[in-house]
Amino acid sequence: MADGTIITHFIDALAVCSCIVESAHNEICYIAPPSLLVFGSRFDLLDTKTLIQKGGLVRGIANFSHRYINKVQEILDKGTHLRYSSERQGIFMLVGDGYESISAAGVFPESLSIDTPIVALWNFNPAYGKFLMSAFESTWERSIPARQRIQELLAAWSPDN
């Protein structure tokens, strides 16, 4: 396979994510809008259970609102280390073991459906994986734990909001 492949359909991007997760041995890292997390769990495409059971690490960053608290809690309960950040909106990236990756810009939660056209890069280049991991780590350092964000959202929420 070539060093990189352009993915043009959202359904294909989900399939690539599944392949990356299934082939990872040590670590999965991602930045994703919350609606993508919903798609991933609905179709069981981001099943990280096996990786976690084998001692692997799954870390994610998402910008989520009150609407997604239950989904975020499910992800946390499965063993993913999830954090909240409002940075990198519209960006999606997933990196397996530091080298296999998929990334896209302009991914907005309101417009996602199975039929959504997308331009994503599926790549196996360790240098590109390192670049994405650098962006991930810098965002991770500035983010807060998802459980803390959930508490903030619950404290600020009222039925009138």
Check whether 1 has a pLDDT greater than 70.
no
Which fold, 4-156?
Endonuclease; Chain A (3.30.870)
Check whether 110 has a pLDDT greater than 90.
no
pLDDT value for 111: 63
pLDDT bin (cut points 50, 70, 90) of residue 43 is low
pLDDT above 70: percentage of residues in the chain: 89
Q: Measure the CA–CA gap between 11 and 145, rounded to whole angstroms.
A: 29
pLDDT above 90: percentage of residues in the chain: 59
Check whether 2 has a pLDDT greater than 50.
no
pLDDT value for 44: 62
Q: What distances in angstroms separate CA 116 from CA 3, 9, 15, one per listed residue?
A: 25, 6, 14
Check whether 107 has a pLDDT greater than 50.
yes
**For the chain, domain boundaries:** 4-156
pLDDT bin (cut points 50, 70, 90) of residue 159 is low
Encode pLDDT of 70-94 as tens digits.
Answer: 999 999 998 999 999 988 778 899 9
Q: Do the beta carbons of residue 62 and residue 127 sit within 8 Å?
A: no
Burial classification of residue 62, based on how many CB atoms lie within 10 Å of its CB (0-12 exposed, 13-18 middle, 19 or more buried):
buried
Give the mean model confidence (pLDDT) for residues 26-40: 85
The DSSP secondary structure of 55-75, one letter per residue, reads T-EEEEEE---GGGHHHHHHH
Q: Measure the CA–CA gap between 31 and 140, rounded to whole angstroms.
A: 9
Average pLDDT, the chain: 88
